[in-house]
Amino acid sequence: RQWRRDVWFGRISKGTTRVNFNIIVNGYGAGKAYNLDEIYMLETVKCKNPYREKRVFIDAINNYVSDLYEIENKMQGEGKQIVAAHRYLVSDHVVGNEVFSRIKLNSETAGYAYIKVIDKHIAELKKSHNELFKERIADFEDVKYQVLSRIYNKKFKQNFNGPTILIVNEVLPSMILNLSKNVKGIIARKGSTLSHAAILVKEKGIPLIVIKNINIKNNTFIAIDTQTKLIDINPDADTKKAYQTRGRINTYKLNDRKKTYLKNFNLQLNISGPEDFLQSSLKHVDGIGLFRTEHLFLKSPHYLSVEEQTLIYEKVALKSFPKYVNIRLVDFKGDKSPSYLKNLDLNEFLFFGPLNEIYKEQIEAIIRANEKYGNLRIMIPMIRQIEEYHHVRDYMNLVLDNLNRVRLTPALKLGVMLETFEAFENLNDYKTVDFISIGTNDLSTELYLTDRSKITDYVYHTKSMIEPIKTISKFSKRHNIPYSICGDLASNTDSFSKLLRSQEIGFSFPESFLNQAIYLINTYVVEKKKSKDLRDKKQKTKK
């Protein structure tokens, strides 16, 4: 079992030690270790200027509160109340005063004082026997992370002034969204392949591995290579130099002749922002198959206006032109929902749910952005009823009417992500959609009631998903609907090969998997041709 092959050799200095690690994202990277948790804990306990620290704290709180206000104003009903409750928690005066007095009396830094105060409240909640109180622990943790990331944001970035291997407890999407280019790899103490954070890391093309009990000092040189299954910690000077000059390896070099095999396949890229792909990669693919837009909202320090969104979508449209871009409407959930939406039931009818205004603005922005290049398409996530499709289509027409530009804008294609139990059970309702994207990450959760962030047996995951994928792809082929698989199964070496062998032809994956996908397709086509030639030969000799 692939997932079980997780005990690899790690080299520490000149000796060799066994280190257990799970590979979450493949790749190669080397640099100096940096413990992300340490910036909170060790470096900055005492301060020189308490007034400055007080200011830093107030700015961080104000910044977060005004973000929350903006979102709150865009919501109705229960969602609005939840955001408001979260905002009260952030601006709690008891907490604020405790932080101020620690800064003043103990000359503590804003971050350190805040951690101490929040941790104290969390400890009190933990002691309580009241279940409701216990539930609030997660809220406190969340607020703590949000406020701390605002206090430390600048510092966090400045600290990476060379190739860095980040060491964290767990990768959170908010860490990855603003990641410095100097981060060449990540080691986490826990994590799994299908978590949204892992997906984001894959899109950034850097390796991510999990080592349960990692304990490495800052600035120790580390090299991670998931292909040789080796991590080198503090190697001798020559080895270190070799690593530093190696650059990113590319084992799957392509030659032009082989590329022609691709024409029968529909390859696309998954991105979370315009920066996630090179224009030169576009020549191998049909277009951008999945642009996960919720990350734009998580990344931005404030709520994105229609104008700001329009500019981003225009940028992607221009960069991809003349290839298409499937812009997926925001899909907030799990670890990629902003903290203020965490408790909201977003499984209901998406378009008319609490995020209605957000969807409307997003659709308007996409339509406006499409006026320039005409290569944008809209994709609905987590669709459960075909009525949602019609409502989105109606709203698109309304926006076009209002803009009075029906004739100027080429009709926008509207597709769906097939990833819910209900949609899978009622495939026939989806005969007239413009395109289909199979979201295997969510579909597996919906069909088998598993938790996607806890899937550990990838071989089993692949096996259980082949049949549902076949059902959807057969349906799409029968009705001439372009389709592709965009879940993580499309960017895993083993499952990709299995899908090829079960006749799948449409795949959407992060750019970091592109060369490997082409390599696997070429090998597969050559193999198939060989066995066909052999069969033909045998038949001839029989005759």
- Crossing angle between the packed helical segments 50-73 and 77-90, to the nearest 10 degrees: 180
From the list 199, 288, 316, 330, which residue makes contact with ligand PEP (rule: CB under 6 A)? 199
Residue 17 or 347: the one with the smaller Cβ distance to ligand PEP is 347
* Tokens linked to 21: 């690690």
Q: Which residues partner with 268 through β-bridges?
A: 287, 508
From the list 439, 468, 482, 506, which residue makes contact with ligand PEP (rule: CB under 6 A)? 439
Residue 331 or 434: the one with the smaller Cβ distance to ligand PEP is 331
Pairing type for strands 164-170 and 230-233 reads unpaired
Instruction: For residue 268, give the 3-state DSSP assignment.
Output: strand
Residue 204 interacting with ligand PEP (CB under 6 A)? no
User: Which residues inside 299-338 make contact with ligand PEP, applying CB under 6 A?
Assistant: 331
| Span of 172-180, 354-362, 436-444, 496-504 interacting with ligand PEP by CB under 6 A | 436-444
| Span of 30-38, 241-249, 353-361, 433-441 interacting with ligand PEP by CB under 6 A | 433-441
Indicate the DSSP class of residue 451: -
**Nearest C-alpha neighbor of 320 from the set 298, 285, 287:** 287
Partner touching 292 among ligand PEP, Mg ion, none, CB below 5 to 8 Å by kind: ligand PEP
Q: b/e per residue, 165-178, with b = 16+ CB within 10 A?
A: bbbbeebbbbbbbe
Residue 314 or 331: the one with the smaller Cβ distance to ligand PEP is 331
Partner touching 199 among Mg ion, ligand PEP, none, CB below 5 to 8 Å by kind: ligand PEP
Report in angstroms how near the CB of residue 293 gets to Mg ion at its nearest: 13
Indicate the DSSP class of residue 354: T
Residue 486 interacting with ligand PEP (CB under 6 A)? yes
Residue 508 or 516: the one with the smaller Cβ distance to ligand PEP is 508
DSSP strands (E only) in 205-319 = 208-210, 221-225, 230-233, 266-271, 287-292
Binding site for Mg ion (CB under 5 A): 419, 439, 442
Please report, as a single letter, which amino acid is at residue 447.
L
Check if the beta carbon of residue 511 is closer than 8 Å to that of residue 203. Answer: yes
Report in angstroms how near the CB of residue 487 gets to Mg ion at its nearest: 7
Residue 33 or 414: the one with the smaller Cβ distance to Mg ion is 414
Residue 231 or 517: the one with the smaller Cβ distance to ligand PEP is 517
Q: Is 347 left (phi over 0), alpha (psi -120 to 50) or beta?
A: alpha
Which long-range CB contacts under 8 A does 276-285 form with residues at least 24 apart? 276/203, 276/204, 276/510, 276/511, 277/319, 277/511, 278/511, 279/319, 281/511, 281/514, 282/320, 282/323, 284/259, 284/514, 284/518, 285/323, 285/514
Residue 196 or 377: the one with the smaller Cβ distance to Mg ion is 196
From the list 415, 487, 506, 510, which residue makes contact with ligand PEP (rule: CB under 6 A)? 487
Report in angstroms how near the CB of residue 486 gets to ligand PEP at its nearest: 4
Partner touching 22 among Mg ion, ligand PEP, none, CB below 5 to 8 Å by kind: none
Catalog residues that contact ligand PEP under the rule CB under 6 A: 199, 290, 292, 331, 419, 439-442, 486-487
